[in-house]
């Protein structure tokens, strides 16, 4: 056995672990990084990157089939599903060097391609190595949750870890799960020529504002994506190419392929956390506000910590670890300024409180400001007028923003800045946005907040009349 004693041990080379390792090494700490599977983790290989690449292929096909509104003849796209997957693989390959073992070794990180398991509160075994670090960061991420539905073990199915390797275009893709992963891949596959049915036990996109979800649902209906809600799967049967899903209420759905997209589970099985004195919950590893586990020398970040499961959350939490473990400064995790987006078309993005939560929290002090896409000139020019922005405001300060529409994931960035820095609506109103841009939607939302205060105020009108009387 080889004994290693670095300043920092990072278990898992996904987005969070890589951020910690890179930052720590460049700041002068000795770092060991363990990864038993693929460098880059879920985001690069099975999640954010491949899904957005496949969505791009779907958008290209959809644009060809819906060009007449711009004066260009519609054509039926000749979709090569295998070539679309080549595009996905090419995107991954282009990004891969940034997350590669070679790059991190160049930064001074000791990379060991083994899984790690605790053998004591202060030691981790990884292959022939025993690592005793001053601080350890668990960043092992999450994996697809596959529920024990009767019959599932006897039929072929895909998850987000296998669907991007599929080369044969599904004739009819059945998707169990109507969350972000299920909905994004449903639309991408529909646009690439598949029939698609989404089977959801409750409501699709159930964590988002129903008013915003309705905007996305309307487009799905137009594109011919079948959405079956309140359909809890009770049995799955069939063979490759002929799969049936029976719901508890008796509905039966038939298709050629099955994608399981019902959620994620924290990757803790290999870690032997009991030996480290690290407690878990039903969602992942138990952490405090500083992302510290029940072992004071061990932190956990990202999906494995059981909070919001987004790459940018893991990156943010990596910064908290750098601040604490390397600089000895306090750092507390917060989520009120954390945006998220679902990359359907139209997109859906959100930050802070939803309208329902804001009403429950702030009652009569809440004002809800809406501005529709169909009053934005750029949206009109590009025929992308389906959508709206909704801003929840308390005493001049936004406490939550929901956007459904074109480029919602880009528009939410401004509100992430505003909420993170506790700015007010007056600061957004003071911004000058170039014309014509979709970004004006944010500015117009602020205008909608101030308009009644200026134009419907008897006091303002009296002041104006008085000033006009005395102006030379």
Q: What CATH number has the domain bearing residue 26?
A: 3.50.50.60
The verdict on 292 and 414 lying in the same domain is no
Q: What is the pLDDT of residue 462?
A: 75
Q: Alpha-carbon distance 112 to 325, whole Å?
A: 21
Domain boundary among 245, 263, 281: 263
The verdict on 396 and 419 lying in the same domain is yes
The verdict on 134 and 275 lying in the same domain is yes
**The tokens 């070794």 sit on which residue?**
105
Q: Alpha-carbon distance 206 to 305, whole Å?
A: 22
Segment holding 259, helix H or strand E: strand 257-260
In sequence order, what E strands does 28-101 have? 31-34
Domain boundary among 218, 238, 263: 263
Q: Torsions phi, psi of 34, nearest 5? A: -105, 135
Count other C-beta atoms under 10 Å from residue 140's C-beta. 31
Q: Strand pairing of 129-131 and 135-138?
A: unpaired
- On whether residue 79 sits in a domain, the answer given is no
Domain range for 420: 340-455
- On whether residue 53 sits in a domain, the answer given is no
Q: What is the pLDDT of residue 454?
A: 65
Domain count, the chain: 3
Segment holding 46, helix H or strand E: none
DSSP-assigned beta bridge partners for residue 245: 236, 253
Collapsing DSSP to helix, strand or coil, 68 comes out as helix
- Structure tokens belonging to residue 283: 């969602």
- Structure tokens belonging to residue 52: 């957005």
The verdict on 138 and 277 lying in the same domain is yes
Q: What is the pLDDT of residue 328?
A: 86
The verdict on 373 and 451 lying in the same domain is yes
The verdict on 186 and 281 lying in the same domain is no
**Cis (ω within 30 of 0) for the bond into 346?**
yes
Q: What is the pLDDT of residue 460?
A: 66
Strand order in the sheet with 123-126: 2-4, 129-131, 123-126, 117-120
The verdict on 228 and 243 lying in the same domain is yes
The verdict on 131 and 200 lying in the same domain is no
Q: Alpha-carbon distance 305 to 180, whole Å?
A: 20
Count other C-beta atoms under 10 Å from residue 469's C-beta. 7
Q: What is the pLDDT of residue 21?
A: 97
The verdict on 157 and 275 lying in the same domain is no
The verdict on 295 and 376 lying in the same domain is no
Q: What is the pLDDT of residue 122?
A: 96
The verdict on 304 and 401 lying in the same domain is no
Count other C-beta atoms under 10 Å from residue 426's C-beta. 12
Q: What is the pLDDT of residue 87?
A: 98
| Confidence (pTM) | 0.94
- On whether residue 81 sits in a domain, the answer given is no
- What is the residue-level pLDDT of the chain in tens, covering all 472 positions? 789 999 999 999 999 999 999 999 999 999 999 999 999 999 999 999 999 999 999 999 999 999 999 999 999 999 999 999 999 999 999 999 999 999 999 999 999 999 999 999 999 999 999 999 999 999 999 999 999 999 999 999 999 999 999 999 999 999 999 999 999 999 999 999 999 999 999 999 999 999 999 999 999 999 999 999 999 999 999 999 999 999 999 999 999 999 999 999 999 999 999 999 999 999 999 999 999 999 999 999 999 999 889 999 999 999 999 999 888 889 999 999 999 999 999 999 999 999 999 999 999 999 999 999 999 999 999 999 999 999 999 999 999 999 999 999 999 999 999 999 999 999 999 999 999 999 999 999 999 999 777 666 677 677 767 777 777 7
- On whether residue 62 sits in a domain, the answer given is no
The verdict on 370 and 434 lying in the same domain is yes
Q: What is the pLDDT of residue 221?
A: 97
């Amino acid at each position: 056995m080889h004994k290693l004693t670095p300043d920092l041990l990072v278990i898992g080379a996904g987005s969070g672990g890589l951020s910690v390792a890179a930052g720590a090494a460049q700041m002068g700490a000795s770092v060991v990084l363990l990864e038993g599977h693929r460098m880059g983790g879920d985001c690069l290989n099975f999640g954010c990157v491949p899904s957005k690449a496949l969505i791009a292929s779907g958008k290209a096909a959809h644009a060809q089939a819906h060009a007449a509104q711009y004066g260009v003849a519609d054509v039926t796209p000749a979709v090569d599903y295998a070539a679309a997957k080549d595009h996905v693989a090419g995107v991954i390959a282009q990004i891969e060097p940034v997350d590669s073992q070679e790059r991190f070794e160049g930064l001074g990180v000791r990379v060991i391609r083994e899984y790690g398991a605790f053998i004591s509160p202060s030691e981790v075994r990884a292959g022939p190595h025993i690592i005793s670090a001053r601080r350890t960061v668990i960043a092992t991420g999450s994996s697809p949750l596959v529920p024990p539905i009767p019959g599932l073990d006897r039929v072929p199915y895909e998850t987000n870890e296998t669907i991007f390797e599929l080369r044969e275009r599904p004739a009819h893709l059945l998707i169990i799960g109507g969350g972000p992963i299920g909905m994004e891949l449903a639309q991408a596959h529909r646009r690439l020529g598949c029939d698609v049915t989404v089977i959801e036990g409750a409501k699709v996109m159930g964590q988002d504002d129903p008013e915003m979800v309705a905007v996305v649902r309307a487009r799905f209906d137009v594109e011919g994506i079948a959405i079956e809600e309140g359909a809890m799967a009770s049995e799955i049967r069939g063979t490759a190419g002929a799969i049936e899903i029976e719901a508890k209420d008796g509905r039966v759905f038939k298709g050629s392929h099955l994608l399981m997209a019902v959620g994620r589970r924290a990757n803790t099985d290999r870690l032997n956390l009991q030996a480290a004195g690290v407690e878990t919950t039903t969602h992942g590893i138990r952490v405090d506000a500083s992302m510290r586990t029940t072992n004071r020398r061990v932190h956990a970040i990202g999906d494995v910590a059981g909070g919001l499961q987004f790459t940018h959350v893991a990156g943010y939490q990596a910064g908290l670890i750098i601040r604490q473990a390397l600089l000895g400064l306090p750092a507390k995790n917060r989520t009120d300024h954390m945006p998220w987006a679902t990359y359907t078309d139209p997109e859906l993005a959100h930050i802070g409180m939803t309208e329902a939560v804001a009403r429950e929290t702030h009652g009569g002090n809440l004002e809800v400001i809406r501005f529709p896409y169909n009053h934005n000139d750029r949206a009109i020019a590009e025929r992308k007028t389906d959508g709206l922005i909704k801003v929840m405001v308390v005493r001049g300060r936004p406490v939550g923003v929901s956007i459904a529409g074109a480029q919602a994931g880009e528009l939410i960035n401004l509100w992430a800045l505003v909420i993170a820095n506790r700015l007010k609506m007056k600061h957004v109103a003071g911004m000058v946005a170039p014309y014509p841009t979709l970004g004006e939607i944010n500015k117009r939302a602020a205008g909608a907040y101030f308009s009644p205060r200026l134009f419907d105020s008897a006091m303002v009108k009296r002041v104006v009349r008085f000033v006009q009387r005395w102006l030379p």
